[in-house]
Chain A
Amino acid sequence: MSTTYVLDHPEKGHIEYSDRKRYLWMSSLFMPLFPMMGVAAYFLFDTQWALALPLLFSYVLIPVLDYLLGSDENNPPEEIVPQLEDDRYYRWLTWLTVPMHFIVLIAIAWFVGTQDLTVWSVLVLAITAGSYSGLGINTAHELGHKKPEFERLLAKIVLAVPTYGHFCIEHNRGHHRDVATPEDPASSRMGESIYKFVWREIPGAWRRGWAVEKERLARLGKSEWSIHNDILQSYAISAVLQGGLILAFGWIMLPFLAIHNFWAWFQLTSANYIEHYGLKRDKEPNGRYERCQPHHSWNANYIFSNIVLFHLERHSDHHANPTRRYQSLRNFDGLPELPNGYYGMYLLAYIPWLWYKVMDKRLLALPHINGDLSKVNIDPDRYDEITARYGAGPGAVAAA
């Protein structure tokens, strides 16, 4: 049983398309099983070691499956995209994940609050819950870019789980405007490690998000400290949720929630770090940056992690068409491409020397850069070092 979209196009003739990933997208509904799997295995095998299972899934199994299952050739024809966008099945899948993020955080908090656990187990559980809430930021990303008011509301609600209510505003109005420029706190620079980037990204995103919302409210003649502030609305839900968990399960929730929140944010930091590393838009004579081009994002076309992340890895098309729904995002040849899916690349990013070793050559070898460092977004603190090493212009990369 599959759905085939058909179109008789005036010039291109009869077009037929069926989405081979249609039912795979349902995986999003089963994702809560992974954070909960550790808890289930703990009761089953009576050992706290079992709690580490979900993290093994994220950081070992997903990269391995990306490697084994390889890339995904499925690409909807442009003419079919409107039909695919209108198919409400795909929307339901994103909508249904929203309550799951609340349920999983509450369930894991209950477990932490009621079982006799070692410090290590609490840490592992906080990171596990944080990973799943990080996936909630990804869902909010998908929903927050859409035009219907209802989907933007859902985005605001799901962002309350990791207390990141400023994200959609900051991302849609800030990051998409400034992407791949030195001004963007959410685009990483060549030579900047993720541990340095995170201190620029998290506070920078917060400040930009707040500034954008404050400006909008000022036009409306309303105070930033009012219920009209979209960011505060989401934070209010966070306060009820996380405050309720602290009341219900006691002081242990303070470190647990702090680590959970940080880890969810750090998932986003990790995605931001790898999505535009070193890429830079040119400045035009009128002082504007050139429009974001497909070569201003790193892509990965691995089937498995793309299913987990609602096609986030088809990132160039996302930046060209931010309001396009996940099922319609396309892959193109000749784009900057990452050597593994996002989860594998996160691991690489956590080991900076290895990241530079893999990525710097790849970056400088991109056709539009071709060794020209003036076309690269470089960490100013490492500018001299990098130009000394790679500065001989085109061709220097191969020799380095």
Chain B
Amino acid sequence: MGKFRCPGCEYTYDEDRGDAHEGYPPGTSFESLPEDFTCPDCAVRYKEDFEPVED
């Protein structure tokens, strides 16, 4: 499973962990997040702006 980072504020969505506060349980793929998903921290970046993170 991968990680996806907001290029504006560095918020990182980790598919393994999900985002409990936002209501995305562990294992929720980035792909399956809603189309109108915006960065939960800055709201400036849309879903398509997120960049995959290489570990």
Contact = CB atoms under 8 A, between A and B. Distances in A.
Contacts of B24: 219
Interface string A166-177: 000000110011
A111 B53 CA distance: 58
Interface in A184-219: 216-219
A288 B44 CA distance: 12
Contacts of B21: 216
B23 A220 contact: yes
Interface in A298-323: 319-323
Interface in A206-261: 216-221
Interface string A284-298: 000010011000000
A172 to B, nearest CB: 6
A322 B22 contact: no
Overall SS of chain B's interface: loop
Contacts of B40: 173
Given A321-B8, A323-B9, A173 B43 contact: yes
A322 B46 contact: no
Interface string A126-148: 00000000000000000000010
Contacts of A172: 43
Given A288-B46, A322-B9, A323-B9, A216 B41 contact: no
A177 B23 contact: no
A323 B41 contact: yes
Interface range, B side:
10 to 19
B43 A322 contact: yes
Given A219-B23, A219-B24, A220-B23, A320 B44 contact: yes
Nearest to A215: B23
B9 A216 contact: no
Interface in B3-35: 8-9, 11, 21-24
Contacts of A288: 46
Contacts of A322: 9, 41-44
A147 B44 contact: no
Given A216-B22, A321-B8, A173 B38 contact: yes
Contacts of B45: 291
A198 to B, nearest CB: 24
A172 B40 CA distance: 8
Contacts of B41: 147, 322-323
A172 B9 CA distance: 13
Interface in A94-152: 147
Contacts of B8: 320-321
B43 A177 contact: yes
Given A219-B24, A321-B8, 16 more contacts: A147-B11, A176-B43, A176-B44, A216-B21, A216-B22, A219-B23, A220-B23, A221-B23, A288-B46, A291-B44, A319-B44, A320-B44, A321-B42, A322-B41, A322-B42, A322-B44
Interface of A: 147, 172-173, 176-177, 216-221, 288, 291-292, 319-323
- The 10 tightest CB contacts between A and B, nearest first, are A219-B23, A176-B43, A220-B23, A322-B42, A177-B43, A323-B9, A177-B38, A173-B43, A216-B23, A323-B42
